[in-house]
Structure 1
């Protein structure tokens, strides 16, 4: 090795040789295979998973294979490339380097993804993604073969978005698998995938999916601009992207929807929205998002519209209960007892007779305990998480009532509020409701109903002024769009949804031709 190094130095000159061994990362590959090997070893210094394999095809011709152990399928490398090259190719076919390169690219290498690179940084980035780099003696370029090891989780039903009716497949951590799940549902050349690489160190693959002609051009330009402006060292999950591109970072309400379900993403793409798929995470971002889409469940569009409309009305009622019930109870019992019927007031007063805390402090303590039980149930292992949360709530509630620390009506109010919050389909919207519930509770404890009214007005003003990529968050209610209002409070029949959402879709606004109402034919 040292003799070879000394010979090369004398032949090329010491300064020139040293400059070749430490080129800039954007530098070109050398035609000297030995120099390229030293450059790559310097680049992957202290990387124990970096593998170099040198193969002598003839006395004059050598080939260098570089890859990362664990990311590259070494078994495929042996069977697809090394075995044919060493055992099945005659030496007479390998008299020149050009012939060898052409033979590897066109005859020997049985890989679907092959390309050629000439810069050091391009070669390094390709190897870091699990590809194999092939360098030939006398060639100032490298062949890149896609032989990544595809170790991934199987396609399973999403655990965070369980549905009674609908597909059971969910996204995985593999970007290619996720794209294929979307392509299986929308088999059109109008479905486009634009790729980005984000993260200086992670080099994470990010794909923007949309349907050409349905997604508005202005929205596409805005999303491209925001994604391309992201400068970060690493992207580990789609939440990293979400925080960089949302409109109002300090709003408690989510402005970008996330989901594990390919059918939800496909349905939103057909409405003109855009999806952002990030490698190594099953959660896909959908934008823009409105307030009403956060209250729509996946079954809303699979069950018959009569059932769905009834359940959706119930869901809106439960949403208001989750947001206002504790604060209304505190305001009534503390400042406005005259609004409570006499018989109910006597019952509540009797239950609160031995409680040492005001209603506001009592409600605040119970809400904190309930949130603690909910968080503990999420963080604990599945085998004991649900049991701890249920048993803990029963034991603590019963013991607190018997000890006279809290009243039984307060336990009922907090439990009803918690059940109502579980009916919100989107976890991030439910979290926003939980945060605002504490604010409403404080306003009710200080000002009574006046505080609740002021908080409701401030909340409404915030929601009306909020935007998600230029789309009003409260649309189609504010601004009011009559043609889209029918899919807010209730779910209309499928044959009545003739047009796509007006503020989201692009040129192609027609979804279903008119006059498709089913019924018996009249003779």
Structure 2
């Protein structure tokens, strides 16, 4: 019994306070802060075939053995050959002053020789040498010396900056993040050319040592939000952070809620705009998406094109978007409630038409709706996991062939197929994929309540859902802000509608930024 209670307690701990796996304790980990020893590093790394050891000697007053250690595949070979090995093995050897060098001054002289063409620094700790080698740098060791040089020579195959695959845009920039962290930070630097843009580096994962950066704009970001972000990241204790998206589960406020409290995007322009509003971005190496906090429900219903079109057009677009989300949540439930409990609200002709369509259907309206909704979910999941051409074919086959066959076999009514089709199309108007999944999950309990209690059950379900959403926070910010609590200025400026650019003179009040005045507002 105690073991079961312990297991339940472990599962209910907040993700950022729980160690998911206990990392193995290796001898090399215990020596990271000790003075540098090339012998120990070689004994540890020579077991891997991709670690390359290049041994050579410098003929100074005395022969000084040197070892250059790199990881094959992470190093730029042109930098290694032309700006490191050539300088050390050819240019330095031909210099007549080399005879003046000894073991006492060799490191400083080599550093001066390599510095003009390379990023270089002196190290004296075991951990610094290991991190440099395994991160893709070249580390130059001098035998019998407790210091070494880390030379920046990283270079590996990477995907070029291209159009985002998920967040496509008709207007605006067509650049998306890649899997290389420094490429992603450079995309932000190109857009915010100001020293107030801060990029703080961290390493997460006891074994992977994944590079993670926290980006914010000083004097705009709320200091409490920033400190909370850094605190939660520092408390992550796991073996490895394989993808940046896994950080989301470890820092979010409501890990057991279906509603996302962390926003992720692959667009640099979206990150830039949100940093200027006072939010904080988190990016990890190896992941082409960035995380944004804090976030609200209204922000999840916005897209980057809302700020590239004219303000009056966005009013209509956002109305359609919110209408589609409402239809996606309520359409199946309303159909079930009306056909099961509230037929009297229908016109006689429509009621007779629905009854004729349901003639011969062996399932009640609830069973019919559950069958079709589950079929829709299966088809959507199958379309996502298959290659794009095949996935599109699956969608067409599911919508046309299976739906038509189900109607002819009298398994479902024609109106039910129409309702599910409208629901599916309406759900695609929700911009955030995570929010779309939450809406799909909400649909099922609402259908069950509608099938058992009619409109009363739908009302109870919506009321319970509203209470849940009101209780959610994202790093201290209410999830329904600026609707609840009501902030009139923010509500009118950029929620259901967007004010013109020249009228948006204040940053969102929901974040309580240090500098609320925005220079984006101009004169009409």
- Give the TM-score, by structure 2 length: 0.91
The CA distance in 1 between the partners of 2:363 and 2:213, in whole Å, is: 54
Q: How does 1:101-116 map to 2 (within 5 A)?
A: 101-116=107-122
SS in 2 for 1:57: strand
Is the CA contact 2:505–2:522 (under 8 Å) kept in the aligned structure 1? no
Pair 1:193-2:233 in alignment:
no
Pair 1:453-2:459 in alignment:
yes
Is the CA contact 2:501–2:521 (under 8 Å) kept in the aligned structure 1? no
Is the CA contact 2:504–2:520 (under 8 Å) kept in the aligned structure 1? no
SS in 1 for 2:206: coil
How many angstroms does 1:150 deviate by?
Answer: 3.4
The CA distance in 2 between the partners of 1:22 and 1:462, in whole Å, is: 48
State the match for 2:21 in structure 1.
Answer: none
The CA distance in 2 between the partners of 1:22 and 1:169, in whole Å, is: 41
Is the CA contact 1:355–1:405 (under 8 Å) kept in the aligned structure 2? yes
The CA distance in 2 between the partners of 1:22 and 1:181, in whole Å, is: 37
State the match for 1:75 in structure 2.
Answer: 78
The CA distance in 2 between the partners of 1:232 and 1:287, in whole Å, is: 22
Pair 1:93-2:100 in alignment:
no
How many angstroms does 1:227 deviate by?
Answer: 0.6
SS in 1 for 2:470: helix
Residues 23, 362 of structure 1: alpha-carbon distance in 2 compared, 3 angstrom cutoff: closer
SS in 2 for 1:88: helix
State the match for 1:219 in structure 2.
Answer: 225
Show CA shifts across 1:384-427 (max 9, x none): 11122112221000000011111100000000000000110000
SS in 2 for 1:238: coil
Match of 1:60 among 43, 47, 63: 63
Match of 1:500 among 501, 507, 510: 507
SS in 2 for 1:292: helix
State the match for 2:257 in structure 1.
Answer: 251
Match of 1:349 among 355, 364, 369: 355
SS in 2 for 1:435: helix
State the match for 1:478 in structure 2.
Answer: 484
State the match for 2:373 in structure 1.
Answer: 367
Q: How does 1:396-415 map to 2 (within 5 A)?
A: 396-415=402-421
State the match for 1:466 in structure 2.
Answer: 472
Pair 1:206-2:207 in alignment:
no
Residues 22, 126 of structure 1: alpha-carbon distance in 2 compared, 3 angstrom cutoff: closer
State the match for 1:47 in structure 2.
Answer: 48
Is the CA contact 1:500–1:510 (under 8 Å) kept in the aligned structure 2? yes
Show CA shifts across 1:460-513 (max 9, x none): 111111100000000000000011011211111111111111121422101148
SS in 2 for 1:135: strand
How many angstroms does 1:43 deviate by?
Answer: 1.5
Pair 1:424-2:427 in alignment:
no
Show CA shifts across 1:158-211 (max 9, x none): 111111111000000010000010111111111110111000111001100000
Pair 1:129-2:108 in alignment:
no
SS in 2 for 1:405: coil
Q: How does 1:217-366 map to 2 (within 5 A)?
A: 217-366=223-372
- Give the TM-score, by structure 1 length: 0.91
State the match for 1:490 in structure 2.
Answer: 497
Show CA shifts across 1:242-294 (max 9, x none): 11110110110000000000011111011100000111001100000100011
CA RMSD of aligned residues (A): 1.7
Larger Cα-atom Rg? 1
How many angstroms does 1:436 deviate by?
Answer: 0.5
The CA distance in 1 between the partners of 2:336 and 2:238, in whole Å, is: 46
The CA distance in 1 between the partners of 2:188 and 2:34, in whole Å, is: 39
SS in 1 for 2:63: coil
Is the CA contact 1:111–1:145 (under 8 Å) kept in the aligned structure 2? no
**Aligned pair count?**
492
How many angstroms does 1:458 deviate by?
Answer: 0.6
Is the CA contact 1:54–1:64 (under 8 Å) kept in the aligned structure 2? yes
State the match for 2:6 in structure 1.
Answer: none
The CA distance in 2 between the partners of 1:448 and 1:462, in whole Å, is: 21
Match of 1:381 among 380, 387, 392: 387
How many angstroms does 1:69 deviate by?
Answer: 1.1
The CA distance in 1 between the partners of 2:510 and 2:157, in whole Å, is: 41
Residues 49, 408 of structure 1: alpha-carbon distance in 2 compared, 3 angstrom cutoff: same
Match of 1:172 among 170, 178, 181: 178
Residues 360, 47 of structure 1: alpha-carbon distance in 2 compared, 3 angstrom cutoff: same
The CA distance in 2 between the partners of 1:328 and 1:43, in whole Å, is: 66
State the match for 1:140 in structure 2.
Answer: 146
The CA distance in 1 between the partners of 2:327 and 2:253, in whole Å, is: 28
Show CA shifts across 1:195-248 (max 9, x none): 110001110011000000110111111111111111111101122211111011
Is the CA contact 2:51–2:71 (under 8 Å) kept in the aligned structure 1? yes
